[in-house]
Structure 1
């Protein structure tokens, strides 16, 4: 990826994705001559300062079976979500991630296959996005959502042992991310409901 693009993303929010398709296109544009895509390159592509796109990224990776089925990926996304949400809760404006996390890679062919699979439903979802119930995406709503995502991230590693439960958590993270990108509070409400469902699945399984 050209350096100027990365620098522009660090200096401004104008190039950050505002919906699901834009985020997917940003990831798809990353050049991967080695056949693997570094997590740091994805962060450069979508921006490092906005809570919504980062949360949506974690959700998409966790939601897509072809990617989340790779051993360790759900736990990686759990750590990523936990770090981002804790930093939001303590008031950081730019999210920091450790080098070992930023240097993790995924097979680019699996990433592109997952993006191709998700593109059509993403277009349909984007048409449904509207600014509504905006108090759910204000400062208080964002903090409550971040706290909920902390709980999700803690529950995600055990979910690797429960079929499809990680994908349900991915749906919740995706909806939280989209809600903040589009200021659509209805999606936040749905995300809280799905979070309750995913946590119930874990409790039922282990009790």
Structure 2
């Protein structure tokens, strides 16, 4: 995987490098995909965890995308790939820009908390285990969409793990287990 990067830089790259009225998943993959799985999973999870996740269908699309991308991480594929149909899925660029502008002050604060540490949780076999967890959590987001904002719990866990992979920070990978567990609890309560 590539060198650590910041969440704020990723948000700004997506906002400034795009063309057209919509931001597609294909564009997200093209802009940040080659930086590794962490940034891509992080951005997909944030779309589902933030207010954009209240739009019907968004948590399911993000969950399926996260599962597809993370499965590739499990199998050791070097760069993420999405099918053409999924790459065409898009949200309004203007809506993304509003959300990105609103959360940028928070991402700057968060960027100061991310630093390379507990590296054994972000390298080697651990990344495949993280990928497997993200597959399971991404698939959990699909049925949780029926409850308002319930899919935000596993999405937040995935986002924290993605942040850990992005910044090479094992602390964030471990911290992501708490909201991930909450998401699983929601799922079992809903269907158990």
TM-score by length of 1: 0.86
Partner of 2:108: 123
Rate the CA distance shift 1:49–1:84 in 2: closer, same or farther, 3 A. farther
Residue pair 2:160, 2:173 contacting (<8 A) in 1 also: yes
Residue pair 1:58, 1:77 contacting (<8 A) in 2 also: yes
Tell me if 1:18 matches 2:18: no
Gap regions ≥5 residues in structure 2 = none
Deviation at 1:193, TM superposition (A): 2.1
Deviation at 1:124, TM superposition (A): 0.5
Provide the C-alpha distance between the structure 2 equivalents of 1:80 and 1:156, rounded to a whole number of angstroms.
11
Deviation at 1:105, TM superposition (A): 1.5
Deviation at 1:31, TM superposition (A): 3.5
Partner of 2:24: 38
Gap regions ≥5 residues in structure 1 = 1-12
1:178-193 alignment, distance < 5 Å: 178-193=163-178
Cα root mean square deviation, aligned: 1.6
Q: What count of residue pairs does the alignment treat as equivalent?
A: 191
Deviation at 1:27, TM superposition (A): 0.9
Provide the C-alpha distance between the structure 1 equivalents of 2:162 and 2:9, rounded to a whole number of angstroms.
13
Provide the C-alpha distance between the structure 1 equivalents of 2:34 and 2:86, rounded to a whole number of angstroms.
14
TM-score by length of 2: 0.92
Deviation at 1:86, TM superposition (A): 1.1
Runs of 4+ deviating beyond 2 Å: 30-33
